[in-house]
Structure 1
Amino acid sequence: MTLLQMRYFLTVCRLQNITHAASELHIAQSTLSQAIQTIEEETGLNLFVRSGRNIMISQDGQKLAQKVTALLREVDVFEDDVREMARRHGKLKMAIPQQQASFIIPRLLNDFCPRYPEIQLDIVEPSGLESARLVREEKVDLAIVNYDGETLPDLHYRRVNSRPIKFVVWKGHPLAGLQSISLAEATKGPLVLLSEEFFVTRLLTRTMADRHLELNALYYSPHLSTLYSLLRAHTAPSILFEQAVVSLENVVTIPFDEPLSLTSCLITKKNRQLSKDLRLVMKFIRGELLKDYPVPSA
């Protein structure tokens, strides 16, 4: 017995009249009569006692109607659940660390969201390491990070492009006029840096250790906005991913003699189906990461 036949059967049980039932179901009376006959043949039960156009439910028909009602109630719950899943499917959870967030989120909100209003973006701004963990635990669908080369085996890393890490000072700083700077010179004085959960600081620390240099960190902050404030207050220079300061005024970014860089990448969980919505947002972000945007300089 198909679900459609079950619904036909219950409608006839309720109205106890083939003509009225066919009218309510918007089907031909002959179609409904044939469907009821097929049900009786398949079940081997006499479900109705017929008297002209009117019919009465038999005892077997009443028992079957109870079972069909319970089954269709479960089907309705199932269909509601599927619709809810489909509704939630349009909501994407994303982790974007602050250095990428300052660059990507304005473009998502200004360009992507108006273009695809049916896709809801739920964005958090953790560190790079935390972003990867959230993808791994399937708490977010996608992370956009400045990848430092270390991978987790159950994550898929889609590399987009590499961009430099630069020495960042304010206009008027004694080093602001340099065309380039060595890592040793940049780290002589105190620096304000992102905390060690960020890939840029991890790469910087590892590079310093490889070159037997000491890192003089005045302050580590988990918040990029705090570093912006410290730069504006002329507290100390910083070393940041190039695009982290793309919209920051009155700063100068100086490349290193031996360039340092991080690779932007999109992280998803391995062996997980990518939805159409997720592929759309990944394509958009990839396009934005590949664009060349001016960075403040001297």
Structure 2
Amino acid sequence: MDLLQLKYFQTVAKLEHMTKAAHALQIAQPALSVTIARLEEDVGVPLFNRTGRNIVLNEYGKAFLERVTRALNELEAGRQEVSDLSGSEFGYVSIASTFMSKRFCNRLASFAQLYPKVNFQLTQTTNENAKLRLLESGEVDFIFTIKKIERPDIVCVPLVEKDIFLAVSPVHRLANRGTVALEELAGEPFINLKADESIQEFCHAMCLKRGFAPKVVCTCDSSQGLVNLVSAGFGVTFFPSPGRQKPNSPFVLLKVEDFDYKSFLYLAWKEKRYFSKAALYFREYVIHQSKVKKKRNRFSTVR
């Protein structure tokens, strides 16, 4: 059993597809199949259930994957620590996030300009629990999450605070209104974003208190898709925003009366984990930039 076998096994276990895994690893599929077979021979049990071309982790494989992931993460942390001790600035930051918005990407680009030798490993998922599992397993350094994680082993720092508005098309019947009562939205077609489960739950509960259930006509994975659908007049949506209507915005934001809810974006990490210099620099940079932005927002509000 060697390190390469374990890395190959980890990839196959995640994808549960030999052809896709071979493509991701950039090796021939027969060679990958032989490597996995030899690993199973070393372990002494089959790690996958095979049905034709399909492979699925079995009970042994799931238990082995958990240990392999932990071991590979520890080895990578050791490599990074040695690199830091040697004075090298090389390293990477691993992040899991739901959105890859223009603002998010610009922030990464700004950091990269300050630290050009740092590389990023980005994982995008709309599932908050999946992000938490990646953090727990040590597969990522940080996650950006809309759910506050209240656990003693995880640090969760709020970065962005937003109010919830109603977003409508510029030609919607309510578009010229500054505010809207929740009761006026009964019967309106709603578009939901799959990632915003906590916002959806709150808004649904508030609508029920007003005597109606939101008429959801579409649920989408992409925030850009949500924006396009609303701007096209397909439906309306509850939308988190700092409160300032952007110039040339594709939709109109309306304040909802008696709607007291704040949406937060958090940066979370495991407290007892070795962080490379690159990861520490990134954490400091993100938190600092959020504080600068909050000060600017307060100043613009006062003016």
Q: TM-score, with normalisation over the residues of structure 1?
A: 0.60
Measure the CA separation in 1 of the matches of 2:253 and 2:186. 15
Q: Does 1:163 align with 2:162?
A: yes
CA shift for structure 1 position 212: 6.0
1:49-198 matches, within 5 Å, as: 82=79, 86=83, 90-98=91-99, 101-109=101-109, 111-127=110-126, 129=128, 130-147=130-147, 149=148, 151=150, 154-186=153-185, 188-195=187-194, 198=197
Structure 1 pair 275/235, CA: closer, same or farther in 2 (3 Å)? same
For residues 156 and 216 of structure 1, do their structure 2 counterparts lie closer, same or farther at Cα, with a shift above 3 Å needed?
A: same
Alpha-carbon spacing, 1:203–1:224, altered in 2? closer, same or farther (3 Å)? same
Q: CA deviation at 1:198?
A: 4.1
Asked whether the equivalents of residues 171 and 233 of structure 2 are also in contact (C-alpha less than 8 Å), the reply is no
Q: Within the alignment, does 1:251 sit opposite 2:251 as a pair?
A: yes
Q: Is the 8 A contact 1:191 1:218 kept in 2?
A: yes
Structure 1 pair 212–234 and aligned structure 2 pair: CA distance change class (3 A): closer
Give the SS at the match of 1:255: strand
Query: Are residues 1:282 and 2:292 paired?
Result: no
Who is 1:71 aligned against?
A: none
Task: Work out the CA distance in 2 between the residues paired with 1:153 and 1:209.
Answer: 35
Compared CA separation, residues 84 and 141, structure 1 to 2 (3 A): closer
2-side partners of 1:96 and 1:274: how far apart? 18
Greater shift, 222-231 or 239-248, is seen at 239-248
Report SS of the residue matched to 2:249: coil
Cα distance in 1, alignment partners of residues 211 and 141 from structure 2: 39
Question: What's the CA shift string for 1:209-228, capped at 9, x where partnerless?
Answer: 56664121111111112212
SS in 1 for 2:192: strand
Aligned to 2:240: 241
Can you list the C-alpha shifts for 1:229-282, whole angstroms capped at 9, x where unaligned? 212322111212216996873211122222321122111123223443223222
CA deviation string 1:1-21 (max 9, x = no partner): xxxxxxxxxxxxxxxxxxxxx
Q: Which residue number in structure 2 is paired with residue 3 of structure 1? A: none
Paired letter, 2:139 = K
- Report the secondary structure of 1:157's partner residue: strand
Deviation at 1:93, TM superposition (A): 0.9
Matched AA of 1:260: Y
Q: Would the alpha carbon gap of residues 269 and 114 (structure 1) be closer, same or farther in structure 2, given more than 3 Å must change?
A: same
Cα distance in structure 2, aligned partners of 1:164 and 1:108: 25
Shift of 1:161: 4.2
1:201 and 2:205 matched = no
Unaligned runs of 5+ in 2: 1-74, 298-303
Which structure is larger by alpha-carbon Rg, 1 or 2? 1
Task: State, as a whole percentage, how many aligned pairs show the same letter.
Answer: 16
1 CA distance for matches of 2:127 and 2:247?
A: 21
- SS of 1:105's equivalent? helix
Question: 2 CA distance for matches of 1:131 and 1:88?
Answer: 27
The alpha-carbon distance between structure 1 residues 83 and 195, as it changes in their structure 2 partners (threshold 3 A), is closer
Structure 2 CA distance for aligned equivalents of residues 209 and 270 of structure 1: 40
TM superposition shift of 1:89? 6.8
TM-score scaled by length of structure 2: 0.59
Higher mean C-alpha displacement, 262-271 vs 81-90: 81-90
Paired residue secondary structure (1:176): coil
CA contact (8 A) 1:103 1:243 kept: no
Aligned twin of 1:261: 262
SS in 2 for 1:263: strand
Partner deviation per Cα, 1:192-217 (whole Å, 9 max, x = no partner): 11016644334434544566641211
Residue pair 1:168, 1:239 contacting (<8 A) in 2 also: yes
Residues 209, 157 of structure 1: alpha-carbon distance in 2 compared, 3 angstrom cutoff: farther
Count residues with an aligned counterpart: 212
> Is contact 1:264–1:289 with CA below 8 Å preserved after alignment?
no
SS at match of 2:155: strand
Separation (CA, whole Å) in 1 of partners of 2:169 and 2:81: 51
SS in 1 for 2:144: strand
